[in-house]
Amino acid sequence: MFDKLEAVVRRFEILTERLSDPSLYDRPTELRETNTERANIEPIVFKFREYKKIKAEIEGNKDIIHNEKDEEMRDMAKEELSDLEAKLPLVEQELKLLLLPKDPNDDRNVILEIRSGAGGDEASIFVGDMWRMYRSYFGAKGWKAEVVSLSEGERGIKEIIVNVSGDKVYSRMKYESGAHRVQRVPETEAQGRVHTSTITVAVMPEADEVGDVVLDMNEIRIDVYRSGGSGGQSVNTSDSAVRLTHMPTGIVIAMQDERSQLKNKEKAFKILKTKIYDLRIQEAHAKEAATRKGLVGTGDRSERIRTYNYPQGRISDHRINFTIYNLPNFMNGDIDQVIDALIAHNQAILLQGDEE
């Protein structure tokens, strides 16, 4: 581990020296890449320096205990040594976590899809509840959420697609992908019986405009048609709605929210690229999960990951058998406790793999 840390320190010093070169500022792409790489390893360097400082202070205090004739000085050194020896393993653990391999997509913005599943109107109502929950969470994090597409049902939302941008959005939101189950008495239930409904959430790292996905236009069928509102009425007399079909994967993207065909096409292509990129990530993650049992993140979209039990005020995440009883706060956007538990679980699995 320490050889790796010394190499990180050397790289940090090289990048710092490079940033002092005035000519670098004439090369914006290289400047951005240098700044990003330095910022990513800076926490490791600072933590390693803290670790070495504690180690040096431990040795210094041991020297005082063995060689100092003043008893009061020796007692002070013993007290300080005890505190330092208790702190050292904690800092070492923090260093190990910082050295774990990073998900290359963690810094990306995301495309969030929430869709109603089994349960009819109640599922659509819960989609709306979940969207309000996430919207509150995004606000608390200082993230920006832009609704790309919205399909309303008679009582709730059938599907909503949102572009979420901000600091390290994917690093936390990736754990939300999967099937979410709600157990409660629906607004539509006259007998007071508890029903079970499901919705699906997909969190996809946004594909870069250049490089991530190169589309072959010969593999894409583009259909244009007139936008339709709820009930089938026409809301636009021109063919502004766009449907893209990516024939190799079978992915279909339909977009009609904008009155401009060009804008709908731009949005549709952006989502198509993101979906193709996400498909590749899921395939890679499936291979990784096969070698690291218990790893969670961007797994099977059909996997039931969480239950929201309203009568008991309970949220249960089935992937890590984690349950809390603060459903009202959770649905108001206070979801970090569960996400933090999922991150800690993944870190433990990765640490275990590194030690084997």
Which pLDDT belongs to residue 296? 64
CA distance 85 to 96: 17
Helix (H) or strand (E) holding 181, with range, is strand 178-184
Q: Give per-residue pLDDT as tens, 200-218.
A: 999 999 887 656 788 888 8
Which pLDDT belongs to residue 302? 63
Q: Which residues pair with 110 in a beta bridge?
A: 164, 205
Task: Quote the mean pLDDT of the chain.
Answer: 87
Which pLDDT belongs to residue 256? 85
What are the structure tokens assigned to 114, written together?
């929430």
- Region of 85 on the Ramachandran plot (φ > 0 left; ψ -120 to 50 alpha; else beta): alpha
Which pLDDT belongs to residue 133? 97
Half-sphere exposure for 142 (CA within 13 Å, toward CB): 3
- As a whole number, mean pLDDT of residues 156-164 equals 93
What are the structure tokens assigned to 352, written together?
């275990």
CA-based nearest residue to 126, from 354, 314, 331? 331
The dihedral over CA atoms of 319, 324, 330, 331, expressed in degrees to the nearest 10, equals 80
CA distance 201 to 164: 14
Which pLDDT belongs to residue 294? 60
- As a whole number, mean pLDDT of residues 75-79 equals 93
CA-based nearest residue to 130, from 165, 167, 156, 164? 156
pLDDT class of 54 with cuts at 50, 70, 90: very high
Is the predicted pLDDT of residue 231 greater than 70, yes or no? no
Q: Residue written as tokens 């583009």?
A: 222
Least confident of 83-92, 188-197, 327-336: 188-197
Who contacts 250 (Cβ-Cβ below 8 Å, separation ≥6)? none
SS3 283: helix
Domains detected in the chain: 2-99 (1.20.58), 110-350 (3.30.70.1660)
Which pLDDT belongs to residue 179? 93
Which pLDDT belongs to residue 293? 59
Which pLDDT belongs to residue 312? 95
Is the predicted pLDDT of residue 228 greater than 80, yes or no? no
Longest dimension (CA), the chain: 95
Kindly tell me the sign of the dihedral angle through the C-alpha atoms of 108, 111, 116, 121.
positive
Least confident of 283-297, 305-319, 341-355: 283-297
Instruction: Outline where the chain has alpha helix (H).
Output: 2-19, 28-67, 71-99, 121-141, 169-173, 261-291, 327-331, 336-355
Q: Give per-residue pLDDT as tens, 266-297.
A: 889 888 999 888 888 877 767 666 555 566 65
Is residue 201 a contact partner of residue 114, using CB atoms and an 8 Å limit?
yes
Higher pLDDT, 349 or 331: 331
Please provide residue 189's backbone torsions phi and psi, each rounded to the nearest 5 degrees. Answer: -95, 120
Is the predicted pLDDT of residue 118 greater than 80, yes or no? yes
- As a whole number, mean pLDDT of residues 291-312 equals 73
Which pLDDT belongs to residue 233? 43
Who contacts 99 (Cβ-Cβ below 8 Å, separation ≥6)? 1, 4, 5, 44
Q: Per 3-state DSSP, what percentage of the chain is helix, strand, and coil (rounded to 5)?
A: 50, 20, 25
pTM greater than 0.85:
no
